[in-house]
């Protein structure tokens, strides 16, 4: 039986694997792209009033308050427009192995998850002097009130939609193919 040697030149494969592992050490370029995809999706959630399910309507009291300050009709969670308020506070921070999205408003979690009336206890509120519709003047005073004063339904705005995953996978695939 004859002896023979087989030599396989795998230097190209080794170079490819080295480039791939190098790209996997710092995924910041692709996490930045993923951040943009998810941020745009969240902004669409605000623009259409909730996805995949529409957010619950505003209460009559909230609509009345919005009318008083001339912000009605308007969109839910969109009182200050796209640049201000809750929607304008959302940002992302890409990193070498993750992307972090956050909303920089203290009330963001309440709108995301909802809150029951009085869930956060009571506060002492200062009421300025005012005149009622019947002409009676009410002096300035303080009173204890529940926080929140009414139940706030959950309106999940920071939601990655099913359709976003295909776009995210596509971005990751493109990033790896560029190796």
> Which segments within the chain are labelled E, that is strand?
90-94, 99-103, 122-127, 130-131, 137-138, 141-146
78 or 163, which is more confident?
A: 163
| Per-residue confidence (pLDDT) for residue 90, from 0 to 100 | 93
The residue ranges of every structural domain in the chain are: 15-110+157-177, 115-151
At residue 27, φ and ψ (nearest 5 deg) are -90, 15
Whether this prediction's pTM lies above 0.85 is answered by: no
pLDDT tens digits, 39-85? 999 999 998 999 999 999 888 888 888 888 887 777 777 766 666 78
Tell me what the pLDDT averaged over the chain comes to.
87
Burial of 107 (0-12, 13-18, 19+ CB in 10 A): middle
106-110 mean pLDDT: 91
């Amino acid at each position: 039986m004859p002896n023979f040697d087989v030599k396989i030149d795998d230097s190209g494969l080794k170079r490819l694997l080295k480039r791939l592992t190098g790209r996997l050490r710092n995924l910041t370029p692709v996490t930045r792209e993923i951040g943009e995809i998810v941020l745009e999706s969240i902004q669409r959630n605000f623009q259409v009033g909730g996805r995949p399910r529409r957010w619950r309507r505003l209460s009559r009291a909230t609509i009345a308050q919005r009318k008083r300050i001339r912000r009605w009709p308007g969109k839910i969670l969109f009182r200050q427009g796209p640049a201000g308020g809750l929607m304008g506070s959302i940002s992302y921070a890409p990193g070498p192995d993750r992307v972090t999205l956050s909303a920089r408003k203290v009330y963001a979690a309440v709108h995301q998850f909802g809150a029951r009336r009085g869930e956060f206890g009571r506060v002492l509120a200062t009421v300025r002097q005012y005149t009622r519709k019947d002409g009676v003047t009410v002096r300035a005073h303080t009173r204890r009130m529940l926080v929140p004063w009414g139940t706030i339904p959950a309106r999940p705005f920071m939601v990655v939609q099913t359709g976003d995953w295909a776009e995210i996978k596509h971005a990751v695939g493109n990033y790896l193919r560029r190796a």
